[in-house]
Amino acid sequence: MTTQKIFYEDSYRAVFKAKVISCEVHEAGYQLRLNQTAFYPEGGGQPTDRGWIDGAKVSHVFIKEDIIYHSVDRHFKEGEEVEGVIDFERRLDLMQQHSGEHIVSGLIKKLYGYQNVGFHLSETYMTADLSGELTKEEIKHVEYLANEAIFKNIKVTAALYHQEEIKDRDYRSKIAIEGAIRLVSIQDYDVCACCGTHVKTTGEIGSIKIVGADKHKGGMRLTVLCGRRALQDSVKKQEAITRVSQLLSAKPTLVAEEVEKLLETLAGLKQKLNARTDELFELKASAYTIQEEKVLCVIEEDLSTEEIRKLCMAMTKRTDKTCLVLTPEAEGVKYALGAQSTDIRVLCKELNKAFNGRGGGAKEICQGTLTGTSREIIQRIQNQ
């Protein structure tokens, strides 16, 4: 005997009575079978419902050969009368996303001819994979019209048809279906073969926001938020924009222009700083003196990898000797090693080996990191 599906008769029924057909022990608890249920089993891209049956938690619901199984955490007796309560806030959220997806996919097919070839509905977002790419303007247009469909508050209907009855009808379908086909229709917006649950009227979707559009497998993946999810996203973004607007002392609608100006200023400052750093390194390099030591060694705090290299190169221009620049870090030391006339890679290899380091480079200059202290490294290099 198959399970009677209350969620198809009424997708808003959150509480129902049923009779236990069987309850079998399973790895993670029990698998409960009822004569009828309002719990939607995972399928068609829509996640499982959750809730309670006589107080026992329902963590997962699935369908196999038209029989629905509820994963519960306690045993039920065969023939027992039970009351099921689905987590309706969660179900409504899933229905809002699912119906919203139908409107978006239907509009895209109608306007641009692309199919929805993949639908994923998770606890936090929903994605629709399209067979082609849309421009930014087209996405905006789809979002606008999808919200128009919400304002019109039109009916969402579902009905079962025999294949023959609808063979000439144009409807969306991801897979070839055998037997009767359940079509979900949203007036002029969409007709789609679907086994999921939907809101009764489009107004209940609340709002539709397309928050992501990425190239995906020759087409495009849209990330869509509906209902409360769209509102929560908007609240978060509003908070972020308000913060940035306060930091920049700019109107919220003008923060992008202000950030562009800041980035331009920053690029100019970086350029200036680089020129000054080069000058400073030239001055430093000319001030270092060397007596009888084999290697000109200097320790400089807080230099970046790029700066270490620059300073070392400025030094090697002024002496025939090997030059070493060290910058101590939280763990170990960053180094640059250079020379005008010898292949410095040989010494670099020796240092790496002696101080468990890594790095390398060209004949004239090498860079890397070493473990050990600056003093130990200098001692070793001067005495080799």
Residues of this chain that interact with Zn ion (CB under 5 A) are 194, 196
Minimum distance between the CB of residue 95 and Zn ion, rounded to whole angstroms? 10
* Cα distance between residue 98 and residue 102, in whole Å: 6
Phi first, then psi: give them for residue 35, nearest 5 degrees.
Answer: -70, -30
- Using CB atoms, what's the residue nearest to Zn ion? 194
Least distance (Å) between residue 218 CB and Zn ion: 23
CB-nearer residue toward Zn ion: 30 or 40: 40
Closer CB to Zn ion, 196 or 219, in the complex: 196
Q: Which amino acid is at 157?
A: T
Nearer to Zn ion, 53 or 194 (CB): 194
State both tokens at 17. 């009575």
Query: Toward Zn ion, which CB reaches closer, 139 or 156?
Result: 156
Could you tell me the smallest distance in angstroms from the CB atom of residue 195 to Zn ion? Answer: 7
Closer Cβ to Zn ion, 84 or 100, answer by number: 100
Q: How far is the CB of 189 from Zn ion (least distance, A)?
A: 13
Provide the minimum distance between the beta carbon of 196 and Zn ion in the complex, in angstroms, as a whole number.
4
Say how far residue 298 (Cα) sits from the centre of its chain: 46
- Cβ-based nearer residue to Zn ion, 196 or 368: 196
Q: What is the closest distance, in whole angstroms, from the C-beta atom of residue 126 to Zn ion in the complex?
A: 11
List Cα–Cα distances, 370 to 320, 337, 349, 373, in angstroms. 24, 12, 11, 9
Cα 274 to Cα 166, 195, 261, 306, distances in angstroms: 71, 63, 20, 10
Contact 54, 76 (CB under 8 A): yes
Residues 50, 90 contacting (CB under 8 angstroms): yes
**Least distance (Å) between residue 184 CB and Zn ion:** 6
DSSP per residue, 328-371 = E-SSSEEEEEE-SSS-THHHHHHHHHHTT-EEEE-SSEEEEEES
Please, which residue, 105 or 316, has the CB nearer to Zn ion? 105
Would you say 139 and 221 are in contact if contact means Cβ atoms under 8 Å apart?
Answer: no
In the bound state with Zn ion, the residue whose beta carbon lies nearer, of 18 and 194, is 194
The H-or-E segment that residue 63 falls in is strand 56-64
| Least Å from the CB of residue 25 to Zn ion | 34
Handedness of CA 193, 113, 92, 144 (dihedral sign): negative
